[in-house]
């Protein structure tokens, strides 16, 4: 009987990351190879995280299963999930081939159970934390020796931005040059502890599912926007170098200006797509104006906004300016903005 075969299990969590230099555009849609490098800040897992348990056993039914927030997912039709799992299995298989004493986990059905402590697909980067947690949990289950950087190659195939959620702190995803994507990896630019004063405030403008899914939006932009090429070739490389220097120097005004400009350039390429794509709305634009007003009134740059493929704002600031920034934003936007759904998610940007 197989009913009392062992169950092997590993549990892990992965954080959300919010890009300050945006990933937008793929040069290879199957491998999720980007047209430009990107850089993100990893948020604290005390606030937003995916919790994932991966297990395998000869007792399980033959097909792999994935359960997300209590609901079974169709993984057989998800090429991205299948790609991650087959990559991880191949790495386990090569361990087993080299050591006959290891249990043959690579042949056993997988059961993956995952839970977000925040709204899924609400523009809060749930796919990034989700695929990072899936890859980390299965890698742990398989006792894989690969580093986070090497595992980022696998997570990237689940969702591009997921490759940046395998590390803490400030994380760069380098485009790479090779056609097989083997050099398109994430790497830590600085640990969270390098800049412990960094904070992020997430303003949930809408928790609804986004209008245009990222993959589809990227393809429209790649194929139709003239600005897009200019951004990828002439704008992002300099910004990557400049923001990495600002992070090393803990220069908040520099970090903030580059962050805001890159968010604006990304949304400009969306507007320049045909048909145009709008992710920001009137409430988002009110947040932009307010951040510029605060910075002007204070006489130094104390806050930076950034927007992903949806209307929600993430506002970065330093702990010493907490009352000034978070207090003002909450008081003004929380009270007056129409279309505001709240709640405010207040986040420590790093340091778990
Ligand atoms: C980013 N975004 O750098 C950018 C900024 C949204 C705007 O990565 O198609 O879910 O799965 O590779 O990673 C969202 O896109 O896209 C994203 P896929 P993903 O965070």
pLDDT at residue 64 greater than cutoff 50: yes
Let me know if residue 309 belongs to a domain.
yes
- Whichever domain contains 160, its CATH number is 3.30.230.10
Q: Are residues 58 and 202 in the same domain?
A: no
Let me know if residue 315 belongs to a domain.
yes
Cα 176 to middle of ligand 1, angstroms: 17
What's the angle, vertex CA 182, arms to CA 177 and CA 127, rounded to 5? 100
Q: What pLDDT does residue 123 have?
A: 62
- Whichever domain contains 289, its CATH number is 3.30.70.890
Is the separation of the CB atoms in 140 and 132 below 8 Å? no
Q: What pLDDT does residue 125 have?
A: 66
Q: Are residues 157 and 45 in the same domain?
A: yes
pLDDT at residue 1 greater than cutoff 90: no
Number of domains in the chain: 2
Q: Are residues 189 and 242 in the same domain?
A: no
Which residue of 309, 313, 314 sits with most ligand 1 atoms within 8 Å of its CB, as the best mutation to test the pocket? 309
Q: What pLDDT does residue 2 have?
A: 56
Closest CA to 17 of 211, 177, 159, 182: 159
Q: Are residues 172 and 208 in the same domain?
A: no
Determine the structural domain holding residue 222 and report its residue range.
198-348
Q: Are residues 208 and 188 in the same domain?
A: no
Q: What pLDDT does residue 326 have?
A: 87
Which residue of 173, 214, 222, 243 sits with most ligand 1 atoms within 8 Å of its CB, as the best mutation to test the pocket? 214
Instruction: Report the alpha-carbon distance of residue 9 to residue 2 in Å, rounded.
Output: 17
pLDDT tens for each residue of 206-262: 766 667 889 999 999 999 999 999 999 999 999 999 999 999 999 999 999 999 999
Q: Are residues 164 and 221 in the same domain?
A: no
Q: What ipTM, to 2 d.p.? A: 0.98
User: For ligand 1, what atom is nearest to the CA of residue 22?
Assistant: 3
Which residue of 23, 186, 268 sits with most ligand 1 atoms within 8 Å of its CB, as the best mutation to test the pocket? 23
Residue nearest atom 7 of ligand 1, based on CA coordinates? 308
pLDDT > 70 in the chain, percent: 91
pLDDT tens for each residue of 304-320: 999 999 888 999 999 99
pLDDT at residue 272 greater than cutoff 60: yes
Instruction: Compute the radius of gyration of the chain from its Cα atoms.
Output: 21
């Amino acid at each position: 009987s197989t009913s009392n075969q062992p169950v092997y299990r590993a549990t892990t969590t992965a954080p959300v990351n919010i890009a300050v230099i945006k990933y937008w555009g793929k040069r290879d849609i199957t491998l999720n190879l980007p047209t430009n490098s990107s850089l993100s800040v990893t948020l604290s897992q005390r606030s937003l995280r995916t919790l994932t348990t991966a297990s395998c056993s000869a007792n399980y039914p033959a097909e792999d299963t994935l359960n997300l927030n209590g609901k079974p997912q169709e993984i057989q039709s998800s090429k991205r999930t299948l790609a991650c799992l087959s990559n991880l299995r191949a790495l386990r298989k090569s361990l087993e081939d080299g050591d006959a004493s290891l249990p043959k986990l690579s042949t056993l059905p997988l059961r993956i159970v995952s839970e977000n402590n925040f709204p899924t697909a609400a523009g809060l980067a749930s796919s990034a934390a989700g695929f990072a947690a899936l890859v980390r949990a299965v890698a742990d289950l398989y006792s894989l020796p690969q580093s986070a950087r090497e595992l980022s190659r696998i997570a990237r195939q689940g969702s591009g931005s997921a490759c940046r959620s395998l590390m803490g702190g400030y994380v760069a995803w380098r485009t790479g040059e090779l056609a097989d994507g083997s050099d398109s990896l994430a790497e830590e630019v600085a640990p969270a502890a390098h800049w412990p004063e960094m904070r992020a405030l997430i303003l949930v403008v809408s928790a609804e599912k986004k209008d245009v899914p990222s993959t589809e939006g990227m393809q429209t932009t790649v194929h139709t926007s003239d600005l897009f090429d200019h951004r990828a070739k002439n704008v992002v490389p300099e910004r990557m170098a400049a923001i990495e220097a600002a992070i090393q120097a803990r220069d908040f005004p520099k970090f903030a200006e580059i962050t805001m400009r890159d968010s604006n350039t990304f949304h400009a390429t969306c507007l320049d797509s045909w048909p145009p794509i709008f992710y920001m709305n009137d409430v988002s634009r009110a947040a932009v104006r307010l951040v510029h007003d605060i910075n002007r009134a204070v006489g130094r740059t104390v806050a930076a906004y950034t927007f992903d493929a949806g209307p929600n704002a993430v506002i970065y600031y330093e702990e010493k300016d907490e009352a000034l920034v978070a207090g003002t934003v909450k008081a003004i936007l929380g009270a007056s903005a129409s279309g505001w759904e709240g709640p405010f998610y207040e986040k420590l940007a790093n340091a778990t």
